[in-house]
Structure 1
Amino acid sequence: MSFERPWLAQYPERVPAQIDVDEFPSVVAVLESAIENYRDRPAFANLGKTLTYAEIDQLSAQFAAYLLGELKLKKGDRVAIMMPNCLQYPIATFGVLRAGLTVVNTNPMYTARELRHQLVDSGASVIFVLDNFAHTVQEVIGDTQVKQVITTGLGDMLGFPKGSIVNFVLKYIKKMVPEYDLPGAIRFRDALALGQRHTLPTVDIEPNDIAFLQYTGGTTGVAKGAMLTHRNMVANMQQAAAWVGTNVRMGEEVIITALPLYHIFALTANGLVFMKFGGLNHMITNPRDMKAFVKELKSVRFTAITGVNTLFNGLLNTPGFDEVDFSGLHLTLGGGMAVQRSVAERWKQVTGSTLVEAYGLTESAPAACINPMDLVDYNGAIGLPIPSTDACVKDENGNAMPQGEVGELCLRGPQIMKGYWKRPEETAAAIDADGWLHTGDMARMDEKGFFYIVDRKKDMILVSGFNVYPNEVEDVIAMMPGVLEVAAVGVPDDKSGEAVKVVIVKKDPSLTAEQVKAHARENLTGYKHPRYVEFRTELPKTNVGKILRRELRDAPATH
């Protein structure tokens, strides 16, 4: 049976149907090419300090030499990096990769339980951690295979005297560095100095070597490590670069990196794609401090920004954001969760840039579908499958569904992970015999090949046998001017099996549940109406700002 690809006809000019996966054999080869082409250009900036590609080259080589020469790590060994966005992150990550080792990206906000699981499961032998989070490492290290801890202060790469001041303020004034005791730990700067004593050997890195163990699925029980190979990462970088790069000025782009680089979205879209372009990643360490974030945006003439819906919504609701200089901004990419129409429309109004929605998963490194970059207005779709990517919608029995029908979105392409680390059964459940990754997202495709996510399979609410998709309910409620944020979940109900509940953070303190219900009645069919309306001061979120519907579902229903 021939496979139809209606989306190819919608591709913007100059975007190829296929990419060259073999142009770079590894992520390291991409870095080396960027260093050669853009040596003296700025590569990463944070807290007022900028490192050039040449400096990243030198420092990451020192770190790689330390790992191989001093710690005697062997090819394929795992190194955990527990860092927010700071200059140490790219140095360490590229150092680990250049040494032929695997990066285990670790969320610094992890609890001891989560960290223990990830370190034990990955078998990491080294962890590199920011001082602020070292107390969590202290709590679990005895249960793990970690042989060496490397620590650093946020100010360590900022130079004197600024670095010392930053470290002093964080520890003694803001009290953000809890005491810890990790005997045998080494400071990052000392590790770099030791690395200088060794020559970095030539390391043979194969395309199928694992570059990143990227943990995912914490919402469905235990987190699993997606094995993302050098080939997976290079493929996705090539795909995304071909898609977004049609109006890029090589060596001149400045991208705002507010999502953490340890998260797959920023890692590939910002870290790798913009490195290929010779761009500057302007890293925001704490995007939750919206006032400071907006102040920083005012000091940078940026050309691109990536984010999730909650980040864009937060910026739009922060005083002073409308005074930022958007004259250079030509790329706004939203992913990680559904972008709401109300947010996309306001973003366009304030910045003049279309918020282009993309879709991906950790398991696909992550990009799979992106809207055309020449999109004039928000269209509610996750876009078209990107070059060298196939997508289809399947029913419960794995049969392809006709256009317009809702089923599970399935993906195939060179960016799809090798599998889950040490979990063959789970890998077989996720990737079928024909190589299709089953995403767990319910979607439909229109006649032009645009895909629309209706919701997560597991978030779907079943009211009297009717499917209610939380995204749709949230979109409608978010249109109300008095609503800052909203989440819709299903709660058990004796009559209808489940009922719809919305949890709202108010923008207008006088907003009432009755007003919300009245608005829903005007815009939604009966079974989709929220039966319960709850107001909270904030919604539970993941580290990148995805709303945790699961936590809201588990809370008792209130009227």
Structure 2
Amino acid sequence: MPIFKYLERNAKEFGDEVALVELNPEVKDTRRVTWKEYDLTQPEPFMPYRREITWHVFNEKANRFAHLLLERGVKKGDKVGILLMNCLEWLPIYFGILKTGALAVPLNFRYASDEIDYCVNLADISVLVFGPEFIGRIEEIADKLIAHRLLLFVGNGTCPTFAEDYMQLVMNCSSRNLDIEISDDDFGAIYFSSGTTGFPKAILHKHRALMHSAAVEQKHHGQSKMDTFLCIPPLYHTGAKMHWFGSLISASKAVLLRGTKPEIILKAVSDEHCTIVWLLVPWAQDILDALDRGDVKMSDYKLDQWRLMHIGAQPVPKKLIEDWKKYFPNHDYDTNYGLSESIGPGCVHLGVENTHKIGAIGVAGYGWAVKIVDENRKEVKFGDVGELAVKGPGVMYEYYKNPEATKEVLDDEGWLYTGDMAQQDEDGFYYLVDRKKDVIITGGENIYPVQIEDFLHKMEKIKDVAVIGLADERLGEISAAIIEIKEGMTCTEEEINDFCMALPKYKRPRKIIFAKVPRNPTGKIEKPKLREMYRTVDPFASMKK
């Protein structure tokens, strides 16, 4: 069945219970506002600190948007883009699209105008919904967009002249459920790849994949109606939304938090009685650093109800979790591995019962199969490094309008080749070694940057680290470590080199660069950006402490 059926069930059975809360810690207006009251304030330009909607209102808003789309000629199979920061409108809009049989196409909020234009055209988007943060970027390409598309503005304040006001339009639309026939084999969404090798690819998923991601999340983390999920990462990404799907299945409350500072996260957990929090590595490290420095104190917050912290989207340093357990010894912990091509997290996961295996990404997730293959896509000998491949109901249908790229990663049997290098231990647990494209070959030896990064994370002064390959006339490539030092600490190149003496000689970084480690909104290190930054610049001339 299509996933919006869970929303309709929740509206029917738990209609008066809170479904979603939005927190805006940066604003000064502390009024607690329901959706209805917020609509009535239009066009007064204010953003309250806290907003909430019930399951009944959530479903009504999704229905109103669905009816608006139908009135404007949107039909089954059309594509509707979403360019919004995390907000209370995001998910009702997403589900409204799905209810029409159209495909929801979330867009990365970091896209520049040319990237927005590229993705809108690649995905054949006929309606684009955007928020106030993107007026300037949309205005730059508005003449091209409005020729064949409907632009809908979502937000308070004045609607730009090149768009129509979503808030005003949906108020006059029907709130009843629709009866459009939609099956698991119908297409449901297009997500975009991270675009690390140029413009992003469009990833096409069926409704079957969306449903499977929800089942995987609930199976892995056991959400019940008693839980409250704190969602911080961007909803345009599969990770955040698919983790929230566990709340949808269990009809439990979720909190959308706009802010990542340690005190903001802990306050949200405390005030909203959150029980499950999905963090990215930098945010978890920031919380630990703030606790270590005494900038925040656990005694200032109510945290006893917090039962699960899980991380995904990038390799997780073992030391980070060991340090986390010192402050939060009663927390369950899980690592989630996945790709947008596998509908987000869960195709491999550690499992809360396997904290003795911290450092591994885990075992095959619910309903998934996993294997490791060589360059000929033949399974490697046990313990050898190879490319990780996954298979299950959540695998993408294709890269939309890109059969060549699809063939590179998806075979006829349904195996998705991830581009991640991994190996399996004697207990059957999988460990990420590195991205296939990030492997450094120096003097004929393969160096896997993640292994060096994991080692360097053990050094107390290091907050974050990225290891990349730099061209070398003699060895082909050499390894360079970009190191971000914790706030208030100093470190020298000599200290790093001394620490690395415990590594085999060929694995020791040949260059040390003290600088900030850039990460994208989903927490992944932006290694292509780093390789470009330091391709022609002497690393020793970069910022040092």
Q: Deviations over 1:400-426 (max 9, x none)?
A: 112211111111111111111111121
**Aligned position for 1:282:** 255
Q: Deviations over 1:414-469 (max 9, x none)?
A: 11111111111211111112221110000112233211110100111112111111
Q: Deviations over 1:127-169 (max 9, x none)?
A: 111111121111123334652111122xx5xxxxxxxxxx7xx
Whichever residue aligns with residue 59 of structure 2, its letter is: D
Pair 494,354 (structure 1): closer, same or farther in 2 beyond 3 Å: farther
1:16-415 pair list within 5 angstroms: 25-47=1-23, 48-69=50-71, 71-144=72-145, 147-153=149-155, 156=156, 181-183=160-162, 185-196=163-174, 201-245=178-222, 248=223, 250-270=224-244, 272-287=245-260, 289-318=261-290, 319-320=295-296, 322-323=298-299, 324-352=301-329, 353-366=331-344, 367-377=346-356, 379-415=358-394
Whichever residue aligns with residue 336 of structure 1, its letter is: A
Q: Deviations over 1:478-501 (max 9, x none)?
A: 211211211111111122211111
Pair 497,44 (structure 1): closer, same or farther in 2 beyond 3 Å: same
SS in 1 for 2:384: coil
Pair 557,40 (structure 1): closer, same or farther in 2 beyond 3 Å: farther
SS in 1 for 2:125: coil
Residues 153 and 159, structure 2, Cα contact 8 Å, conserved in 1: no
Q: Is 2:494 the counterpart of 1:521?
A: no
Q: Work out which of the residue numbers 398, 403, 427 in structure 2 matches 1:424.
A: 403
Unaligned runs of 5+ in 1: 1-24, 157-166, 168-178
Question: Deviation of residue 217 (structure 1)?
Answer: 4.1
Whichever residue aligns with residue 327 of structure 2, its letter is: V
Question: Deviation of residue 519 (structure 1)?
Answer: 0.4
State percent identity of aligned pairs. Answer: 26
Measure, in 1, the Cα distance between the counterparts of 2:248 and 2:393. 20
SS in 1 for 2:474: coil
Aligned CA-pair RMSD: 1.9
Of the structure 1 ranges 98-107 and 25-34, higher mean CA displacement relative to structure 2 is found in 25-34
Whichever residue aligns with residue 54 of structure 2, its letter is: T
Of the structure 1 ranges 38-47 and 324-333, higher mean CA displacement relative to structure 2 is found in 324-333
Pair 333,126 (structure 1): closer, same or farther in 2 beyond 3 Å: same
What TM-score comes out, normalization by structure 2 length? 0.88
Residues 226 and 252, structure 2, Cα contact 8 Å, conserved in 1: yes
SS in 1 for 2:378: coil
**Number of aligned residues:** 502
Unaligned runs of 5+ in 2: 24-49, 541-545
Question: Deviation of residue 122 (structure 1)?
Answer: 0.8
Residues 491 and 557, structure 1, Cα contact 8 Å, conserved in 2: no
Whichever residue aligns with residue 447 of structure 1, its letter is: E
What TM-score comes out, normalization by structure 1 length? 0.86
Of the structure 1 ranges 409-418 and 322-331, higher mean CA displacement relative to structure 2 is found in 322-331
Residues 372 and 389, structure 2, Cα contact 8 Å, conserved in 1: yes
Whichever residue aligns with residue 292 of structure 1, its letter is: I
Q: Is 2:426 the counterpart of 1:447?
A: yes
SS in 2 for 1:498: strand
Measure, in 2, the Cα distance between the counterparts of 1:460 and 1:121. 31
Measure, in 1, the Cα distance between the counterparts of 2:538 and 2:57. 55
Question: Deviation of residue 36 (structure 1)?
Answer: 3.0
Of the structure 1 ranges 254-263 and 25-34, higher mean CA displacement relative to structure 2 is found in 25-34
Pair 96,45 (structure 1): closer, same or farther in 2 beyond 3 Å: same
Measure, in 2, the Cα distance between the counterparts of 1:186 and 1:27. 29
Q: Deviations over 1:346-383 (max 9, x none)?
A: 22122221431111010111220111222344521111
**Aligned position for 1:547:** 525
Residues 262 and 283, structure 2, Cα contact 8 Å, conserved in 1: no
**Aligned position for 2:413:** 434
Measure, in 2, the Cα distance between the counterparts of 1:27 and 1:399. 36
Measure, in 2, the Cα distance between the counterparts of 1:321 and 1:412. 44
SS in 2 for 1:191: helix
Residues 213 and 225, structure 1, Cα contact 8 Å, conserved in 2: yes
SS in 2 for 1:125: strand
Measure, in 2, the Cα distance between the counterparts of 1:252 and 1:39. 16
Residues 410 and 436, structure 1, Cα contact 8 Å, conserved in 2: yes
Q: Which structure has the higher relative contact order (CA within 8 Å, separation 6+)? A: 1
Residues 344 and 378, structure 1, Cα contact 8 Å, conserved in 2: no
Measure, in 2, the Cα distance between the counterparts of 1:115 and 1:314. 31
Whichever residue aligns with residue 477 of structure 1, its letter is: L
Measure, in 2, the Cα distance between the counterparts of 1:107 and 1:146. 22
Of the structure 1 ranges 95-104 and 375-384, higher mean CA displacement relative to structure 2 is found in 375-384
Residues 64 and 98, structure 1, Cα contact 8 Å, conserved in 2: yes
